[in-house]
Structure 1
Amino acid sequence: MKFFPHKTLLVFALGATTFSLADELEEVVVTADFRASELMTNASSVSILGELQMQERGAQHLEDVLSAAPNVSWSTGASRSRFVQIRGIGDLEQYAEPKYYPSVGVMVDDLELGSAANAGMLFDVAQVEILRGPQGTRFGASAHAGIVKINSNAPTKEFEAMLRGGVGNYGAYNYGAVLSGPLGESIAGRIALQQNRGDGYVENEYKGSNDSNKFDEVTGRGRLVWQPNDSASYELALFSFDAENGYDAYSLNNDRYTWSDQPGKDSQDTLALSVKGQWELGASNTLQAVATDLNADLGYSYDADWISPEVCEMNACSFGHDTAQERFDRDRDQTTFDLRLLGGSESMARGDWRYAFGLYGNQSSETLDYAYPSAWYGLYQSVSDYETDRYAAYGELEYAFSDALTLTAGLRLERFEDEYRDSNGVAHAGEDDLYNTELSLQYSFSDNVFGYATLALASKPGGVNVAASSQYAFMSPDFQGFMTGKLRFEDETLLNRELGLKLRALDNRFELRGALFYATRKNAQLENWMWDDAAGLWIGYLDSNSDSDSYGLELETSFDATDAIEVFANLGWLETQVDDITTFDLDRWEFVVKEDRDQSKSPGYQYNAGIRAVLPAGVSGVLEVEGRDESYFGYYHDGKLQSYDLLNASLSWANDSLRLNVWGRNLTNEDYATHGLYFGADPRDDFGAWSNQTYYQLGAPRTYGLDISWWL
C-alpha cells in the first residue's frame, strides 16, 4: 500500500470502491523540527500538503501547491516560482546577487536548496511542510521567515513498484518510475526517476515557435537505509536535477505573444549527496549526524529588449531598439554538517524534561560569470567569487510544569563570515555574530484542544550588494553618491509574537488550526532597484535602512460534513508597513522617500476553499477555489499585481493497483500576474515610445491533463 500522510484515509487515496471519510483518523506528522510531532500539537503555524493533494492538482512542482497555504506567496522572475515569501518576507527575484540564505528556506529532505529551488519537484514526494514564522533555533538564518520542507517517500520494508505518466495541454507530458523494497534483512532502498516536459504558455511570433518558455526537467532520487541493529541506523541519499527550461516570459503587450529574437534560458544541473546516521545511546539519548554536499550549475538569461528588429520595421520606433541578452552563469558548491544530541523523556508529563544540543556548519561558494552585450552601451561583463562560512551552536530545553503545561526555550549562536571579489577589482569581507532565540508556552486544554504562545527573535546576516559593488565605478555621480554606504547591507533582526490554537470537535469531524502573529523587522532587508540612465545601468540592491512591521491571521479548517464529503477552507490575512524607504522614482526622475508603504508581495488576504467527495465505484472528486488580494511588486514605483480568483477541480477513479486522475487548474482561464516590472521598454511611437509602463509575467492559464499511476 502507498502511504499518504494526510487526513484523508489510505483507502480513499487508493480509490477503494467503498469508503467513508470518517472511518478512522490518520495523524499528520511534522518532521521539520528536532523531534517529529503531531500537527495538532506542534507549537507553530504549519501547513501540511499531502501526496493526495499533489495528485489531485496534477502538481509537478512546488509552485503548483503553495497557494493552498495561507500567507504564503511567491515570485517567478524565472521559469519556475522559486522565490517564496511567508507573511510578506522573502526574496522577490535573483540576478547577480547570491542567495545562500533566503528569508524562506527550501529543503528537499536534508538538503538546503537555497538559490537552486527550481529543483522543488514533487514526484514521489510524501508531503510538503510549510512552517510560518522564524525557525531560528532549528535552522538559523536558513529559515528567517519560515521554511518549506519537501519530504520524499522513504524506502519500504516490502517490495513496491510504481509507474506514473501524464499528458496535458500546452504539449505537457511526464513519465516516471519508482522501485522500493528490501535489499537484505537490514537494508532497504528506493529509487525514483521522472521526466517532465511542456511547451510553456508563450508563443514567440518572431521564432514561430510555442516552446521558447518550455519546461524540460529530469529528477532523480535514490535512498538507501541500513539498520544493522535496534540502536543504529544509517542513510545514504543521492539527489539529481537537470533542467533545460526556457525563459521568454515578457511581452510589450502584456499577453502571451513575444517577439524576442534571443529567448533566454533557466537551466540547472544539480547533483547532491547526503549521509545521515542515528545512534541510540542508552534509554534516553539519541545522537544524530547529517552531512550534505551539493553542486549546482545554474544558467539564467533573457532577451533584455524583448523584441527583434522586425518590430521596428512594422512600427515607427523612436531611436530604434537595443539588442542584448543578459546572461548569468553560476557554479555553486555547498557543504553542510549537523551534529545533534537529543535526550530526556519521550512523553512530557509533570516534571519531565528533554533537550536538544547541536553543532552546525555550512561552507558555500559561488562563481558568477556575467555578461551584458548591448548595442547601445557596449559589452559589460565580469567574473565574481563569493564565499560564505556559517558555524552555529544551538540548544533547546523543554520542561513540563504539569501534564498540560510545557515550556520550551531555545537558543542558537551563529558565526557568519563572507568574502567577495570580482574582476573589476572590487573586494569586500565581513563577519557577523547572530543570535536566534525562542520561548514558547504550550497548553493542552483537553485531548482535542491545544494552544501555544511563542516569542521568537531571529537574525539574518548582512552582506555584499554584489551587483552594485561591481557596477559602482560605472555609475553616474548622483547614483554613486546615493550608493555610498549601501554597498553592504546590515544584519536584519525579526521579532515575532504568536498565539495559536488547534482543536478538534464534533467527534473529530471538525478540525481548526489558527494563529495570530505580530512581527517587527529591524534593518529590514528590502529588495530595491534604480535605473541610472546616463550610465545605462539597472542597479539592484538590498536596502537595510528601514524598519518594518507586520501582523495577521492564519486559519485552516476542515469539516467532514458526511461520511463521504469533506469541506475545507484556509484563510490568510496580512497587514504590513515599511517605515520609509528612499528610491529613485522613474516618473519624477529624482530620489524620493516613500513612507508607511506596504511590503512587496504582501497580499492583504489569501484563501483556498473547496469540497472533496468520495463517490460510488471508486470515484472521488475535488472542487476548489483560491485567490488573493492585490499587492505591490516593488518599491521604485507604485505598480501592483492585481487580485485574482481561480477555480480548480479533479476527478479520480482507482482500484487496488490503478489510479486515473483528470485534473484542471484555473478553469475559468483568468489572466493573473506572478511578477511585475516597471520601466520604459516599448520603442513604438504609437504606444508611447519609452514611456514607463507596467509589465507582467503571467501565471499559468487554463491547464488540464490526465495522470495514470500503476502500482505493480
Structure 2
Amino acid sequence: MKTYKLASIALCVATALQTNVATAQETQKKESVLEKITVTAQKRTQSIQDVPISVATLSGEQFESIFSGGEDILALAVRVPGLYAESSNGRVAPRFYIRGLGNTDFDLAASQPVSIIMDDVVKENVILKSFPLFDIQQVEVIRGPQGTLFGRNTTAGIIKFDSVKPTEDFDAYGKMSLASFGTINIEGAVGGGLADNLAGRFSFLSQQRDDYIDNAFSGEDEALGGYDELAWRAQLLFTPIDDLSMLLNVHGRDLDGTASVFRANVFTKGSNDLNQNYDRDSVFYDGNLLSNGFDNNPQEYENLGFSLKVDYDLRDLTFTSITANEEADGFSLGDVDGGAGSGDTSIPGFIPFTAVTQDKMNDLEQFTQEFRIASNYSDALNWQVGSFYYDSSFNVTSIDGFFGATTVFHENKTWAIFGQGTYDVSDKLTITGGLRYTDDEKSLIVGDQNVNGFALVIGAASVQDYDPINVQDEQVGYELSANYKLDENSSLFARYANGFRAQSIQGRDVAFEGAPSVAEAETISSVEFGVKSDMLDNSLRLNAAVFYYTVDDIQFSAIGGGANSVSLLNADKGSAYGFEIDATYVVNQNLVLTGGYSYNKTEIEDNSLSVFPCGANAEFGPNCTVTDPMTNDNRALINGNPFPQAPETIFNFTARYSVPMGDDGEFFAYTDWAFQGKTNFFLYESVEFQTDNNFEAGLRIGYENFAQNYTVAIFARNLTDEDNVKGAIDFNNLAGIMNEPRVIGIEGKISFF
C-alpha cells in the first residue's frame, strides 16, 4: 500500500516539475480594501453581501492553515460561528452541528440534519462525509433549513465544498510539510488543456503520522494514534460547443489508521477536570486480547466515487444534470471501556466489565440523480425548478467480544421536486420564495445475530427474530425571504423557512440483545433577520444575523446508560435562539483581521421525556453526578436541557501581518484562535460530562515570493498544547475522548502557471 502511495505521489510531482510552462506573476501592490467574495448558496454566483441567507466562507490561507498539521475534516469545528463537529469514530464518521442542531448518534447508519455537499454531490452517509479536503477552492457554511435549491433537504444547514476545477490554462502546485510525530503531508495538483475543448486536473493528498501513544498494558511502545491516508481526485472538463459543458469527477480514498482513543476514568466523580489517570501519551488497552488479532483500535476504510455534471445553456435557460455514485467499505475497532481488565483488577480506575466493539461497513452504495432548469432572464423575475432522486444501501456488522456478531441491512430511497423564484420588486427590494415536496422511504432488515458469541454459548443470549422495519413519509416545505439594499454597500434581509428530516431507524442495539428503534420525522420552522455591510471605505465587512427556530418531534439519540444502548427517541419540541457575527477588517495593506462570534441557546421541551444516564438502569443508579431530576427507576428527566454537543458560544479570530521584503516578496505571520463555550455532551446534564472555555490556537510564520511563486513557513497547531475534552463514553466508567496534541512543523509550497 505504501509503495503504491509513494509511486502515485512521485508521478504527480514529476508531472508538475517537468512542465516547461511557468510564468512568473507580477508583484501587485496591495490595496487596503476588502476582497470580493462570491458564493453559490442560491445556485448562482453572487456576492456574499447580496444573498438573503446567513453564510460564512473559508478559503485560501485561512483554510489551508487549519489543515497544515495533518488535521481531518473535524478541524472545521468552531472555525465558523455556529458550526461545530466531533466524532467518536476517529477520522471517519464526523458529526456536524449548525446552530446547535445535529445528531450525536455514533452508529454508521445515523442520519444527520447537517448536509455535506462536495462538488455539487450530497454525501449522506457519515463515512462519505469524512472524505479528505484538498485542492479546495472555497467552503461555504450555509446556516438554517435548506431544500428549495439543493437536491437533499436539510433542517440545520449545509457545508458546501467546491474543489478547484479544470481550465484550459496550465497550473500546478506542490506542497509538503514535515511535523511532530513523524507527520508528513504531501499535496499537489496539475491541470490544464489536454486537447481541443478538453481540460483536465489531477490532485492528491497523502497524510501520514507515526503511532505515538503507548499501550502500557501490553508493553507496546508507540502502539496507536497514527494514520496513513491517500486521497485523490481526477477531473475532465469537455466543452464540445460553447453552450455545453460536461465535467467528470472521479475520486478515491484509502485510510489505514487508528480509531478514536478512549481513556478510562479520566474524570473524578463530581468534577469535569482531568485527573491523574489521564496521560496523553499512553493508554491501558486489553482489546487486542478479545478481537481476533485486531489490536490497538485499528481503522481501515476505502471509498471510490464519481460524478458527471452536465450544463447546457439554452439562451434564456440552463439545464443541469448531476449523476453520482459512491461506494465505501471498512471497519473500526474500539476498546470502548478505555482501559484493561475489570472489577478489582482493572486499570486505570474501576472498570466494571470489559467492552470491545468492532463495526464493519460493507457494500455501501449511494446513487444520486439531480436535474435542474434555471432561468437566465435579464428581467426582474428569475427561477429554478428541479428534481432529485437518492438511493442508498449498505450493511453494518457489529462484533462484540461477549455477544458476537450481528448484521443489519439498511436501505433508503427518496425523491423530491423543488423550485425557487426571485423577483426584483425594485432596485432595492428583492423577494424570494421556494417550495419543495419530498417522499422518503427507509427499511431495516436484521440478519444473523450473535454468531459464535460467548453469550450465546453460555446461555446469556439467544438468537432473536425481528421483522423487517419499513417507514415512509412525505412532506412539503417552503421558504420566503427578502433582501433590501439600504445603499450600495449595505443591506437587510429576512427569511422564513421550514423543512423536515425523515424518520430514522437505529438497529445497533440488536447486537446487544436490544430491539431496533425508530424516530418519527421532525419538522422545523426557522426565522432569521440579518444585516450585511461593507464600511469604512470598503475596509470593514460586518455581517450579522439573529435567528429563532422550533423543531416539532425533534429526533434525539439516547446513548449510554447501563447497557451502552443507542436508542432513537422523539422529544415533543426543541427550540433555539441566538445570533452570529462575521467580520473582516483590512487595517492597512500589511494587517488583516477576521473575527466571528455566535451565541446559541438551545432547549429540549418535553415534560415527561427521560433517559438512563451514565451507567444507570432500573436497578442501579448513575455513576456520575447527574444534576437533572431523577425518576424512581433511575432515569433523568431532560426537560429544559440544552441539545447535546451544542456549544452555547463560539468565538474565533485570525490576524495576518506582513512586511515587504524587496520587490518580490514578504515576510508574514498568521495566527488563528478558536474558543468553544459551554457544551453538554449528552441529553442529561451532569457535572462530569460538560466542558467550558475550550480553545485552540495556530501560528504560521514564513516567507512568500510572488515572482517565483513559492512559500516556506514554520507552523504550529494547538499552539499552547491544550488538553481539551471533545466527548465521553458514559456507560461503564468516566471515560473521555481528547483532542490532538500540539503539532509543530515546516512546510513549503511552489506553484506553476
Task: Tell me the TM-score normalised to structure 1 length.
Answer: 0.88
Q: Give the counterpart of 1:644 among 687, 694, 698.
A: 694
Query: Are the structure 2 counterparts of residues 255 and 281 from structure 1 closer, same or farther at C-alpha, using a change threshold of 3 Å?
Result: same
Deviations 1:452-471 (A, max 9, x none): 10000010001322224x36
Deviations 1:600-648 (A, max 9, x none): 1122211012321121212122123220112110024522123213332
Aligned residue number for residue 620 of structure 1? 668
Distance in 2 separating the partners of 1:285 and 1:68: 38
Letter in 1 for 2:676: R
Following superposition, the deviation at residue 446 of structure 1 comes to 1.1
Query: Are the structure 2 counterparts of residues 65 and 383 from structure 1 closer, same or farther at C-alpha, using a change threshold of 3 Å?
Result: closer
1:591 aligns with 2:635: yes
The answer to whether the Cα contact below 8 Å between 2:340 and 2:354 also exists between their aligned partners in 1 is: no
Distance in 2 separating the partners of 1:674 and 1:87: 18
1:37 aligns with 2:46: yes
Letter in 2 for 1:643: N
Listed as ranges, the matches of 1:27-426 within 5 Å are 27-59=36-68, 60-80=71-91, 82-95=94-107, 98-99=109-110, 101-114=111-124, 115-117=126-128, 119-139=130-150, 142-199=153-210, 202-205=213-216, 206-252=218-264, 253-256=277-280, 257-261=282-286, 262=288, 263-282=296-315, 284-308=316-340, 321-322=353-354, 324-346=356-378, 352-374=380-402, 379-423=403-447, 424-426=464-466
- Higher mean C-alpha deviation, range 287-296 or range 486-495: 486-495
Following superposition, the deviation at residue 183 of structure 1 comes to 0.7
Query: Are the structure 2 counterparts of residues 317 and 91 from structure 1 closer, same or farther at C-alpha, using a change threshold of 3 Å?
Result: closer
Report the 3-state secondary structure (helix = DSSP H, G, I; strand = E; otherwise coil) of the residue aligned with 2:638: strand
Query: Are the structure 2 counterparts of residues 316 and 526 from structure 1 closer, same or farther at C-alpha, using a change threshold of 3 Å?
Result: closer
Report the 3-state secondary structure (helix = DSSP H, G, I; strand = E; otherwise coil) of the residue aligned with 1:209: strand
Query: Are the structure 2 counterparts of residues 108 and 182 from structure 1 closer, same or farther at C-alpha, using a change threshold of 3 Å?
Result: same
Distance in 2 separating the partners of 1:259 and 1:396: 56
Aligned residue number for residue 508 of structure 1? 538
Following superposition, the deviation at residue 208 of structure 1 comes to 2.1
Letter in 2 for 1:259: F
Task: Tell me the TM-score normalised to structure 2 length.
Answer: 0.83
Distance in 1 separating the partners of 2:151 and 2:241: 33
Query: Are the structure 2 counterparts of residues 407 and 320 from structure 1 closer, same or farther at C-alpha, using a change threshold of 3 Å?
Result: closer
Q: Percent identity?
A: 22
Q: Which runs of 5+ in 1 are unaligned?
A: 1-13, 481-485, 682-692
Query: Are the structure 2 counterparts of residues 151 and 140 from structure 1 closer, same or farther at C-alpha, using a change threshold of 3 Å?
Result: closer
The answer to whether the Cα contact below 8 Å between 1:199 and 1:211 also exists between their aligned partners in 2 is: no
Letter in 2 for 1:62: I
Q: Give the counterpart of 1:660 among 699, 707, 712.
A: 712
The answer to whether the Cα contact below 8 Å between 1:58 and 1:663 also exists between their aligned partners in 2 is: no
RMSD: 2.4
The answer to whether the Cα contact below 8 Å between 1:141 and 1:460 also exists between their aligned partners in 2 is: no
Aligned residue number for residue 453 of structure 2? none
Query: Are the structure 2 counterparts of residues 402 and 615 from structure 1 closer, same or farther at C-alpha, using a change threshold of 3 Å?
Result: same
Distance in 1 separating the partners of 2:349 and 2:545: 54
Report the 3-state secondary structure (helix = DSSP H, G, I; strand = E; otherwise coil) of the residue aligned with 2:222: coil
Aligned residue number for residue 455 of structure 2? none
The answer to whether the Cα contact below 8 Å between 1:288 and 1:341 also exists between their aligned partners in 2 is: yes
Distance in 2 separating the partners of 1:615 and 1:372: 58
Letter in 2 for 1:163: G
Report the 3-state secondary structure (helix = DSSP H, G, I; strand = E; otherwise coil) of the residue aligned with 2:62: helix
Query: Are the structure 2 counterparts of residues 139 and 210 from structure 1 closer, same or farther at C-alpha, using a change threshold of 3 Å?
Result: farther
Query: Are the structure 2 counterparts of residues 41 and 225 from structure 1 closer, same or farther at C-alpha, using a change threshold of 3 Å?
Result: same
Aligned residue number for residue 570 of structure 1? 596
Deviations 1:109-128 (A, max 9, x none): 12322312463422211111
Distance in 2 separating the partners of 1:323 and 1:597: 29
Following superposition, the deviation at residue 297 of structure 1 comes to 0.8
Deviations 1:299-344 (A, max 9, x none): 1221133334599769698798536343333331000000000014
The answer to whether the Cα contact below 8 Å between 2:405 and 2:511 also exists between their aligned partners in 1 is: no
Letter in 2 for 1:603: P
Query: Are the structure 2 counterparts of residues 211 and 504 from structure 1 closer, same or farther at C-alpha, using a change threshold of 3 Å?
Result: farther
Q: Which runs of 5+ in 2 are unaligned?
A: 1-23, 265-276, 289-295, 448-463, 623-632
Distance in 1 separating the partners of 2:86 and 2:73: 12
Report the 3-state secondary structure (helix = DSSP H, G, I; strand = E; otherwise coil) of the residue aligned with 1:54: helix
Query: Are the structure 2 counterparts of residues 649 and 200 from structure 1 closer, same or farther at C-alpha, using a change threshold of 3 Å?
Result: farther
Query: Are the structure 2 counterparts of residues 455 and 207 from structure 1 closer, same or farther at C-alpha, using a change threshold of 3 Å?
Result: farther
Report the 3-state secondary structure (helix = DSSP H, G, I; strand = E; otherwise coil) of the residue aligned with 2:354: coil
User: What stretches of structure 1 move > 4 A for 4+ residues in a row?
Assistant: 14-19, 309-321
Deviations 1:226-254 (A, max 9, x none): 11122111111001111112125112224
Distance in 1 separating the partners of 2:351 and 2:59: 54
Q: Give the counterpart of 1:523 among 541, 544, 553.
A: 553
Distance in 2 separating the partners of 1:495 and 1:317: 46
Query: Are the structure 2 counterparts of residues 93 and 704 from structure 1 closer, same or farther at C-alpha, using a change threshold of 3 Å?
Result: farther
1:703 aligns with 2:739: no
Letter in 1 for 2:383: Y
Report the 3-state secondary structure (helix = DSSP H, G, I; strand = E; otherwise coil) of the residue aligned with 2:407: strand
Deviations 1:185-226 (A, max 9, x none): 211100012210113663322352325122211110011101
Report the 3-state secondary structure (helix = DSSP H, G, I; strand = E; otherwise coil) of the residue aligned with 1:189: strand
Report the 3-state secondary structure (helix = DSSP H, G, I; strand = E; otherwise coil) of the residue aligned with 1:35: coil
The answer to whether the Cα contact below 8 Å between 2:368 and 2:388 also exists between their aligned partners in 1 is: yes
Following superposition, the deviation at residue 672 of structure 1 comes to 0.7
How many residues are aligned here?
660
Letter in 2 for 1:331: D
1:633 aligns with 2:681: yes
Q: Give the counterpart of 1:487 among 517, 521, 528.
A: 517
Aligned residue number for residue 452 of structure 2? none
Report the 3-state secondary structure (helix = DSSP H, G, I; strand = E; otherwise coil) of the residue aligned with 1:225: strand
Query: Are the structure 2 counterparts of residues 321 and 425 from structure 1 closer, same or farther at C-alpha, using a change threshold of 3 Å?
Result: closer
Query: Are the structure 2 counterparts of residues 32 and 271 from structure 1 closer, same or farther at C-alpha, using a change threshold of 3 Å?
Result: farther
Report the 3-state secondary structure (helix = DSSP H, G, I; strand = E; otherwise coil) of the residue aligned with 2:220: coil
Following superposition, the deviation at residue 437 of structure 1 comes to 0.9
The answer to whether the Cα contact below 8 Å between 2:250 and 2:307 also exists between their aligned partners in 1 is: yes
Distance in 2 separating the partners of 1:399 and 1:599: 37
Deviations 1:469-494 (A, max 9, x none): x368x35xxxx8xxxxx822111001
Following superposition, the deviation at residue 511 of structure 1 comes to 0.5
The answer to whether the Cα contact below 8 Å between 1:444 and 1:451 also exists between their aligned partners in 2 is: yes
Report the 3-state secondary structure (helix = DSSP H, G, I; strand = E; otherwise coil) of the residue aligned with 1:147: strand
Query: Are the structure 2 counterparts of residues 620 and 211 from structure 1 closer, same or farther at C-alpha, using a change threshold of 3 Å?
Result: farther
Letter in 1 for 2:406: S
The answer to whether the Cα contact below 8 Å between 2:153 and 2:499 also exists between their aligned partners in 1 is: no
Report the 3-state secondary structure (helix = DSSP H, G, I; strand = E; otherwise coil) of the residue aligned with 2:150: helix
The answer to whether the Cα contact below 8 Å between 1:128 and 1:151 also exists between their aligned partners in 2 is: yes
- Higher mean C-alpha deviation, range 256-265 or range 362-371: 256-265
Deviations 1:537-582 (A, max 9, x none): 3220221133111011100111111221112211011111101331
The answer to whether the Cα contact below 8 Å between 1:17 and 1:616 also exists between their aligned partners in 2 is: no
